[in-house]
Chains A and B, each alone.
Chain A
Amino acid sequence: MADSNPDDNECSLCTTQCSNNSICENCKSHVCQNCLVICKTSFSQVLNRDDFNVCTICSSYITTLEDYIIKEHIGWCQLTPRGSKWFRLSGCEKWANNQKLNISHYDLGSLNLEDSDIIYKDVETGRTDPSIFSWEVKETLYRVITPSFIQDIKKVLAAYCIRNTKVGYCQGMNIVTVWLLLFFDHNTAFLMLCFLVEKLLLPDFYNGSKHGNSLNGFYVESTVIAGILEFVIPEVKNCNMPTGEFSDFFSLQHLMQLFVNTVDMESSVFLWEKICEDGSISLIRGIVSLVLISEKAVNKGMHPILILKILNENRIAPQLKETYAKVVPEITDSRVARLRQLAKDLRAKQWMQCEALVVNKLENISNFSKEEIEELQIRFNKLLKDLRSGRSNEKISRRRPTVQLPKHLLNKMEDYQGSMAIGISKDEFLKILSEISPSLAQRGEEIFIKFDEDASGYLDFRELTIAMSVLSKGTFEDKLRIFFDAYDTEHCGYLGTAELNTLIEQILLPLSDSIQNNPESEELRKNIINVHLKMSQLCEESSGKVFFNDFVTGIKSDMLLYSVIGDYIGNDRPQVSRVFNAMNLGTFTEQDFDEHDGRCKMCTLL
């Protein structure tokens, strides 16, 4: 019995029956010999192939796309003219020069297991394969794909994870990296990624810190987008879901992938140009424009996923450019800055308001027990209440936005309003820190910045709990990490020779002090010399760049270093009670006494 599958014999283009059909190498459909053409591409060198057998439809796509690619100077792992334009335009060039950044600095560092696991899952198992990308990017990648494709992406992502362990790898970054490598060489792509995550986007945008998972920056942006959308297209309310969810669909898809793989190539190029020109505000403008383009569908109450699908499958570049130009005067820097501040306050407030949720979540991510968190919360609220009434009014009003918003938007946002000072300021944190860990207080500012994930200038309850949890109950590594980061003044993920020297001086201070009291002690002197020796040995082994992993291993493998540093960062003292005590008003009364006409500002309450 002969196998007869009509699909195999029917040409999918002209639907004639034909016995010897071929398969189009691009769309994989069965086509007859008449509909099959040999397509020559200008990328044959990269692909080690001169020509492809593709159907007529694919061949015409490929020709137009190739024109576009050549016009737009897209390559793979090479700095294209468009790339260098973006590099300059965004300010990344200047920033990178100041930071003296280079991808090769991170060749030495080792990737932690968690990151390498997720990068493996996302990059090596096919999730970054061009064939599953949206059509145009896929076509582009097929043309430029090289045998080292996976390695190229991994190289950039791994370097980033080593540089910034706080952020590490976040799903969606793989796609952004593919995009970057289309315009930049390895090093510039890496610099652009650093610049994007650390400078251009809001702080904490891709956050994945071990204790946080807050994605605060992302939340702020998506709240702003939700607010603006509801204002621009009131119809979003008519769809079968709360507004927040409607805009979540848009913001998630576009924000996490920064428009790559979510709209057609020409639109992505356009939006990226705007991102480089204007910064992260273009994300908001872009998304609002995209929703405006689909206004009709929104009015009909179509599901956002369907709207996204339509946007994804059509060439919308001309419409997008037009709409974008229209929204620019509407969505101005000052307006967005104001909305962001509101959203930021709101986010912190959310954490405060839902006490049960906070306690629950914090129990998972901190080292405290539920009871301890509740205790901490009581103290935090009390402290905050006191601080609020004590803090000068000027400080609080500064946090209230001054720009006028349209009235209806104001109404929408009224829920956001009224947030007072919502956290512990830097000075207050320093006081607490000096109680718990005087040695670390030396570097209090750096430590504060590390814990202030959303860079609001205040630690909210979540941030404070995490900080306290690490400082008091954290493992040796946790504490060492804080210590290490506090001395990494250039924020490059490793300690240079100068930074290491400062660190050695600091940890030897107690020893030097005791040697002055006890000049005869040979042992102390020997210890100091040994610490110096061993540290410089560590430095030499890592050719002047000590990464955290090497730092830990180096210290743990040496009893002397371990005990000296352990003593310094207070390794063995459980200090939960000290944390609670430090949160007491007593900490503040002493120093605050003189500032307020001789009256303690806390006493004014009583």
Chain B
Amino acid sequence: MATMECKIVTLGEGRVGKTSLALKYVKNEFHKDEISTVNANYLTKLVQIPQGSVQLNIWDTAGQERFRAIASNYYRQAKGALIVYDITDRKSFDKVVSWIKELKSQAEKNIVIVVAGNKCDMEKERQINRPEALEFCRKMQIRHFDTSAKSGNGVEEMFMELASQIFEANKGELGQSGRNSRRGKITVEKTKHRENSGKKGGCC
């Protein structure tokens, strides 16, 4: 069975646990104080799903507001996006909307988005109700997961779901070369999509 290779980006506010989630999933490592990601890290993992296998290339991007300009470089050609917020931080949840908006208007048309409410091991300090988050994602037609990079809760399931959704969305392209374009930075912005109404992605 053919292996599908796809690029996934992690997005979200600073210090919500993007790097930690990716590391936990790929290497099963957890560090309490991960250094802030300034450059984009790059991790890969091969996932077996019933339909086939998918190689996830996870591009871990920096989260601070002002790196958003740079992040748009990274989500070019991404097949999947993982938007992370911190359940103990209301502000990080509020930012999820703008990330979704940005992705839908500027990323690939059929990009698969999932939202992760991270740090669910810190239930006591929770600021965002689960029903609220679920309702929000249902409206956006995006899958929501409760995750904890510390305990590993929900991490595996989330990436599996992401992988299978991406497989579904892209199986038509399987066999064709996925990386044909080699554009320089220069021409990048011209190719951005003007507006995108395609609402792909799963639902709850």
Binds A, one of B45-53, B114-122, B181-189: B181-189
B185 touches A357 (CB 8 A): no
B182 touches A353 (CB 8 A): no
B33 touches A126 (CB 8 A): yes
Contacts of B182 on A, CB cut-off 8 Å? 237, 241-243
A248 within 8 A of B: yes
A243 touches B66 (CB 8 A): no
Q: A207, A308, A356, A415: which contacts B195 (Cβ < 8 A)?
A: A356
B185 touches A223 (CB 8 A): yes
| Min distance, Cβ B33 to any Cβ of chain A, angstroms | 3
Query: When chains A and B are docked, how far (Å) is the Cα of A357 from the Cα of B72?
Result: 11
Given A244-B184, A415-B187, the answer on whether A257 and B64 have CB atoms closer than 8 Å is: no
| Min distance, Cβ B67 to any Cβ of chain A, angstroms | 7
Q: B34, B41, B73, B193: which contacts A248 (Cβ < 8 A)?
A: B73
Contacts of B65 on A, CB cut-off 8 Å? 208, 213
Query: When chains A and B are docked, how far (Å) is the Cα of A393 from the Cα of B186?
Result: 27
Per-position binary interface string of chain A over residues 91-124, scored 1 when its CB falls under 8 Å from any chain B CB and 0 otherwise: 0000000000000000000000000001001100
Binds B, one of A127-135, A323-331, A479-487, A532-540: A127-135
A171 touches B38 (CB 8 A): yes
Which B residues between 120 and 175 are near A, CB-CB below 8 angstroms? none
Per-position binary interface string of chain A over residues 214-240, scored 1 when its CB falls under 8 Å from any chain B CB and 0 otherwise: 110011001100100010000001001
B70 touches A252 (CB 8 A): yes
Contacts of A127 on B, CB cut-off 8 Å? 15, 33-36
| Min distance, Cβ A527 to any Cβ of chain B, angstroms | 42
B105 within 8 A of A: yes
B190 touches A215 (CB 8 A): no
A244 touches B69 (CB 8 A): no
Which A residues between 163 and 183 are near B, CB-CB below 8 angstroms? 170-172, 174
B106 within 8 A of A: yes
Given A242-B182, A354-B190, the answer on whether A257 and B40 have CB atoms closer than 8 Å is: no
B185 touches A226 (CB 8 A): yes
A249 touches B40 (CB 8 A): yes
B68 within 8 A of A: yes
A256 within 8 A of B: yes
B42 within 8 A of A: yes
Q: B14, B68, B184, B188: which contacts A121 (Cβ < 8 A)?
A: B14
Per-position binary interface string of chain B over residues 61-87, scored 1 when its CB falls under 8 Å from any chain A CB and 0 otherwise: 010111111100110000000000000
B184 touches A243 (CB 8 A): yes
Contact-residue size bin, chain B (C-beta under 8 Å from the other chain): 35 or more
A213 touches B69 (CB 8 A): yes
Contacts of A219 on B, CB cut-off 8 Å? 69
A518 within 8 A of B: no
Given A125-B15, A208-B66, the answer on whether A253 and B34 have CB atoms closer than 8 Å is: no
Q: B42, B70, B186: which contacts A303 (Cβ < 8 A)?
A: B42
B66 touches A170 (CB 8 A): yes
Contacts of B36 on A, CB cut-off 8 Å? 122, 127, 171-172, 174
| Min distance, Cβ A579 to any Cβ of chain B, angstroms | 25
Q: B34, B67, B73: which contacts A171 (Cβ < 8 A)?
A: B67
Query: When chains A and B are docked, how far (Å) is the Cα of A245 from the Cα of B65?
Result: 20
Query: When chains A and B are docked, how far (Å) is the Cα of A346 from the Cα of B188?
Result: 12
Query: When chains A and B are docked, how far (Å) is the Cα of A121 from the Cα of B12?
Result: 14
B68 touches A213 (CB 8 A): yes
Query: When chains A and B are docked, how far (Å) is the Cα of A208 from the Cα of B194?
Result: 26
Per-position binary interface string of chain A over residues 237-269, scored 1 when its CB falls under 8 Å from any chain B CB and 0 otherwise: 100111111011100110011000000000000
A305 within 8 A of B: yes
A364 touches B98 (CB 8 A): yes
| Min distance, Cβ B57 to any Cβ of chain A, angstroms | 10
B33 touches A357 (CB 8 A): no
Q: Which residue of B lies closest to A230 (CB)?
A: B184
Interface centre among B34, B186, B192, B194 (most CB of A within 10 A): B186
A353 touches B190 (CB 8 A): yes
B176 within 8 A of A: no
Contacts of A253 on B, CB cut-off 8 Å? 38-39
A125 touches B69 (CB 8 A): no
Contacts of A132 on B, CB cut-off 8 Å? 31, 33-35
Given A121-B14, A350-B189, A357-B106, the answer on whether A172 and B38 have CB atoms closer than 8 Å is: yes
| Min distance, Cβ B14 to any Cβ of chain A, angstroms | 6
A476 within 8 A of B: no
Contacts of B31 on A, CB cut-off 8 Å? 132
Contacts of A252 on B, CB cut-off 8 Å? 38-40, 70
Contacts of B192 on A, CB cut-off 8 Å? 354, 356-357
Contacts of A214 on B, CB cut-off 8 Å? 69
Contacts of B15 on A, CB cut-off 8 Å? 121-122, 125, 127
Which A residues between 406 and 422 are near B, CB-CB below 8 angstroms? 415-416
A19 within 8 A of B: no
| Min distance, Cβ A161 to any Cβ of chain B, angstroms | 13
A215 touches B70 (CB 8 A): yes
Contacts of A305 on B, CB cut-off 8 Å? 41-42
Contacts of A133 on B, CB cut-off 8 Å? 35
Given A127-B33, A242-B182, A415-B187, the answer on whether A257 and B66 have CB atoms closer than 8 Å is: no
| Min distance, Cβ B181 to any Cβ of chain A, angstroms | 8
Interface centre among A206, A230, A364 (most CB of B within 10 A): A364
A543 within 8 A of B: no
Given A132-B31, A244-B184, A357-B106, the answer on whether A256 and B64 have CB atoms closer than 8 Å is: no
A256 touches B35 (CB 8 A): no
| Min distance, Cβ A307 to any Cβ of chain B, angstroms | 11
A360 within 8 A of B: yes
| Min distance, Cβ B174 to any Cβ of chain A, angstroms | 18
Which A residues between 250 and 300 are near B, CB-CB below 8 angstroms? 252-253, 256-257
Contacts of B14 on A, CB cut-off 8 Å? 118, 121-122, 171
Contacts of A208 on B, CB cut-off 8 Å? 65-66
Q: Which residue of B lies closest to A247 (CB)?
A: B185
Contacts of B38 on A, CB cut-off 8 Å? 171-172, 252-253, 256-257
24 contacts between A and B (CB under 8 A): A118-B14, A121-B14, A126-B33, A132-B33, A132-B34, A170-B66, A172-B36, A213-B65, A215-B70, A226-B184, A240-B179, A243-B184, A243-B185, A244-B184, A244-B188, A245-B74, A248-B73, A253-B38, A253-B39, A308-B39, A354-B189, A357-B192, A360-B105, A415-B187
Shortest beta-carbon contacts, A-B, top 3: A244-B185, A126-B33, A253-B39
Question: Which B positions have Cβ atoms within 8 angstroms of A?
Answer: 14-15, 31-36, 38-42, 62, 64-70, 73-74, 98, 102, 105-106, 179, 181-190, 192-195
A sample of 18 more A-B contacts (CB under 8 A), given A118-B14, A243-B182, A252-B38, is A122-B15, A125-B15, A127-B35, A132-B31, A132-B35, A171-B36, A171-B62, A171-B64, A215-B70, A226-B185, A242-B182, A244-B188, A245-B73, A247-B185, A248-B70, A346-B186, A350-B189, A356-B192
